[in-house]
Amino acid sequence: MPKVETIIYPVSDLAKAKTVFGALVGAEPYMDEVYYVGYHVDGQDIGLDPNGHRQGMTGPVCYWHVQDIAASLQRLLTTGAVLRQDITDVGGGKLTALVTDADGNVVGLTQAAED
């Protein structure tokens, strides 16, 4: 069953955002790179993306973790969702895709890398 386990925030100043979110979650990031900072908080991934605004993110995006991203994406598109970002390998085989619903809300999909 798909569930939301990742929320990614587009940020313009990664260092400042890292300070704010570090104080908010009370933890150090598990990943701290120039292209992404990620925190694990009670089974939830919170990510900071310094490229998010350039990719069209206007606010936080919730990512639904799915077993088969291609099938999930196709189901959404057949219901009228609009493709915003096709399936993309974001590193290590982890796949993501974005659609917008009828109200313009951005919906993210992600599939873990295969072992």
Task: Please state, in angstroms and rounded to a whole number, the distance separating the CA atoms of residues 4 and 113.
Answer: 17
pLDDT digits (tens, 9 = 90+) for 53-64: 888 788 999 999
The predicted model gives 2-23 an average pLDDT of 95
* Contact yes or no for 29/69 (Cβ under 8 A): no
CA 112-110-72 angle, to 5 degrees, is: 110
Can you give the pLDDT at residue 1? 84
pLDDT digits (tens, 9 = 90+) for 85-113: 999 998 899 999 999 998 889 999 999 99
Task: Please state, in angstroms and rounded to a whole number, the distance separating the CA atoms of residues 51 and 100.
Answer: 19
- For 66-115, CATH number? 3.10.180.10
- Total count of residues recorded for the chain: 115
